[in-house]
Structure 1
Amino acid sequence: MRQEIDNLFKDIDEIPLFYIESGSRLWGIASPDSDYDVRGFHLQSKKQYFDFKKHRDIIEVMDGDFDFVSYDIDKMFGLLLKSNPTVFEWIRANIIYFNELPDWTNFRQDVITNFDFKALFHHYISLAKGNINLMETGKKFTYKTAFYCIRGLLSADLATRQIIPELLIDDLFKQFDNDNDVLKIAKETLDRKKSQKEKEEVIESDKQKILNAIKEFTSQLAPKEPNSSNKRQKLESVLTDYSFNLKMKFYV
């Protein structure tokens, strides 16, 4: 994968910084036909950075099972400042293909320490509700849809308790002391997802049981929304200092 990334940046001006595996492979739930979802961020070239014209802030490549998305560092840090849970997963990823960032471990820990659990909660609840709608309307009731929905609910539950959800699914399961109905279904659907193709439909006799358990769990979480951590100012300081030092390293 490192070679794929190196080849991609041979023909463009941007400077690659950090790339990881996202999605099902990162979570340990890949199906036999899962794509490689490579995500990360780059720095504009010195020429682009000092140009008066605005340059693109995202690079997207889809080539077979290679799905690549890269954000300009300013866009990436702007999302981190808003405690965007998607990019928060990226910086916590354990499958790292490319990392040219200085003092990464300390920076990563500073971001994690100052992240907002309220933002995490809303992201995962919203993710779950979107998948519930797909299942209720019959548009998509696959094992993948059901599992992604439940993973979101379990992560939201942990956010209500100010606990950062683990990315690897086996580790996420271990964060719960007892097997509730949703957790039991998660384990069952995970086994089916891993062994079947991505678009495998849930068998008809199980659909209502799964949907009822998911909706009940969602309703229980709604009143537990956590308060904001109020650490935005500290997080902004961390991101500002790191961005300044990084740009000094590459541009001066």
Structure 2
Amino acid sequence: MDKLRVENQIDRLQIIKFSFNRILERNMNIHHEIEKLFQQRQDIPLFYIESGSRLWGMASPDSDYDVRGFHLPSKDQYFDYKKYRDLIEIMDGNFDFVSYDLDKMFGLLAKSNPTVLEWVRAHIVYFNAFPEWQTFRDGLLERIDYSALYHHYLSLAKGGMKVMQTAENFTYKKVFYSIRGLMSAELASQEVMPELLITDLFAQVDSNDPLRHWAEDYLEIKKQQKEKAQLPEAEQAAILNLLETKIEQLAAKEMQKADRREDLERYLTEYSRHLKQYHYQ
């Protein structure tokens, strides 16, 4: 019996080691792809991460790799009077790459845009050449407007609900995106930063929350399904009811904008100047 237990532990360790090596290999490949891309351009890469379902810990077997981040435009473009495109987009198979230039990225951060704030907070980082990143990140998160997060995540949940109610698109993906949106909106309404990893997000929510119970029960099923897999029809009404109840509760809350915009803009201006002086001198 002891021998069998030891063998099982060894098997588990080998699986963990194999999974870790696969993740490491994938990250190195994506890092290489980013470097190769910018070898063909004069733009300056700064920071790139994994976004979407892989970042949230709820990817399906056929999920794409969604790489997001930002760059400085080339020196020639920066000093030119002509206006250039403020993003780089590449779609190659399951590799989906989007990079904003620094001005566009900081403009969105100045509005406490929740999508780019997720990029800043991401734990799957493929490339980081941003000086003093941790200091910048911490200072940024101290100045954000939680009302922007609240309205964004609540809107995502409502949008997902509408699709499920009016179209034949009742997928596990849509359900979990709505659940994640509602949990994140609820935390933002309390000025608590919602965790990105779905299991960590569950831990921030009341353990008696029925939506949390449903999501915890179905998460592994969702991760084993393909992107377009539909929730069984017999279970759709129950989850819709849970979602509708939570949306009504959250929509009744009043959340005012925080008076931090000017401080946040000054902070971003200071870092923008620092980066441009360093790279364009």
Normalised by the length of structure 1, the TM-score is 0.98
Specify the alignment match of 1:27 in structure 2.
56
**Radius of gyration: which is bigger?**
2
Q: Percent identity?
A: 57
The structural deviation recorded for 1:22 is 0.4
> Displacement, 1:138?
2.5
Q: CA deviation at 1:176?
A: 1.7
AA matched with 2:181: G
Aligned: 1:210 with 2:215: no
User: Which 4+ runs in 1 deviate beyond 4 A?
Assistant: none
Count of residues paired in the alignment: 252
In the TM superposition, residue 224 of structure 1 has moved relative to its aligned partner by 1.7
CA distance, structure 2, for counterparts of residue 225 and residue 124 of structure 1:
15
Given the alignment, which residue of 83, 106, 115 partners 1:86?
115
Among residues 143, 158, 161, which one is paired with 1:129 in the alignment? 158
String of CA shifts for 1:63-122, please: whole Å, max 9, x gaps: 011000000000000000011000000000011110111111111011100110100000
How far residue 189 of structure 1 moved from its aligned partner, in angstroms, is 3.1
Partner of residue 217, structure 2: 188
SS class of match (2:201): helix
Note if contact 1:42-1:71 (Cα within 8 Å) is conserved in structure 2. yes
Amino acid at match of 1:171: D
Q: How big is each residue's C-alpha offset from its partner over 1:10-40, in whole Å with a ceiling of 9 and x where there is no partner?
A: 2222111100000011111111111110000
After superposition, give the CA deviation of every residue in 1:151-205 in whole Å (9 maximum; x if it has no partner): 0000000011110000011111111232312112222332221011111100010
Q: Is the 8 A contact 1:159 1:226 kept in 2?
A: no
Range that drifts further, 191-200 or 70-79: 191-200
Higher normalized helix content (fraction of residues):
2
**Residue identity in the other structure for 2:243:** I
CA RMSD, aligned part only?
0.9
What TM-score results when the alignment is normalised by the length of structure 2? 0.88
3-state SS of 2:36 partner: helix
- Distance in 2 (CA, whole Å) between partners of 1:246 and 1:5 is 20
Q: Larger RCO: Structure 1 or Structure 2 (Cα < 8 Å, ≥ 6 residues apart)? A: 1
Uncovered stretches (5+) of structure 2, i.e. residues with no partner: 1-29
Amino acid at match of 2:149: L
Counterpart for residue 70 of structure 1: 99
Q: Secondary structure at the match of 2:39?
A: coil
CA deviation after TM superposition for structure 1 residue 8, in Å: 1.3
Structure 1 counterpart of 2:228, from 174, 199, 205: 199
The aligned counterpart of 1:54 is 83
